[in-house]
Amino acid sequence: MPTLLITSSPSLQQHLQAALDRELEVYDSLSALAEQPQRGVQGVVWVDVDNQDEALLARLCRGDFGRARVIVLSSTPSDRQAVQWLGAGAAGFLHAFSQPATLRQADAVVAADGIWIGIGLMQQLCARFGQVARTDSPLLAQLTERERDVVGHLREGKSNKQIARDMDISERTVKAHLTAIFGKLGCRTGCSCC
């Protein structure tokens, strides 16, 4: 199964191809990929969010074009973008020109059905969930009952897939709850995620 890359940047194409050490099937835009309706997109798809149609990217993340695992790349990443795209269903978010070892790790994690989140954003989320985990936390009052249930499962170290199964909801719904939780907990918008 080929690895897809959606970018109009030759330098990003060269950087990612060298980092992953394999040939990439490259499209310069999401619309070029979307014009091939007979093709079900599968596997890991890397998308350079810069200069792309965000509505098409959201559809790709949701699975409208197949069972793709989407890694969103940005030349100017921010935590706000990370939360936006992970909440939309992306399996990863990182700086487009991350170190090759980081790109390989992200590729391996996402290919194994995991979620790649940069360390800065993960540290923020852990700190915030640590605050929420206290039963006397005023932050809990900001969350809906279902969001508090999700936080409870997260405290137990469960993955999105396990939470979805335990709560009898889809993984997409779990991600939507997490996006709402992140927003309510005020993850800062400056980039420290990469």
Residue 193, pLDDT score: 32
β-strand pairing of 92-95 with 24-27:
unpaired
Residue 86, pLDDT score: 87
Alpha-carbon distances of 58 from 50, 52, 54, 169, 174, rounded to whole Å: 14, 11, 6, 20, 16
Residue 169, pLDDT score: 92
Count of helices and strands (H, E) across the chain: 9, 5
Residue 190, pLDDT score: 33
**How far is 121 from 82, CA to CA, in rounded Å?**
8
Give the burial class of 119: count Cβ atoms within 10 A of its Cβ; 0-12 exposed, 13-18 middle, 19 or more buried: exposed
Residue 192, pLDDT score: 33
Per-residue pLDDT of the chain in tens (194 residues, 90 and over written 9): 678 999 999 999 999 999 999 889 999 898 887 776 556 778 899 999 988 899 999 989 888 888 889 999 999 998 888 888 988 889 999 999 999 999 999 999 898 888 888 777 776 666 666 655 555 667 677 888 898 888 888 777 777 888 889 999 988 888 888 878 777 766 543 333 32
| Angle, CA of 141, 142 and 144, to the nearest 5° | 90
CB 4 within 8 A of CB 27: yes
SS3 77: coil
Residue 8, pLDDT score: 93
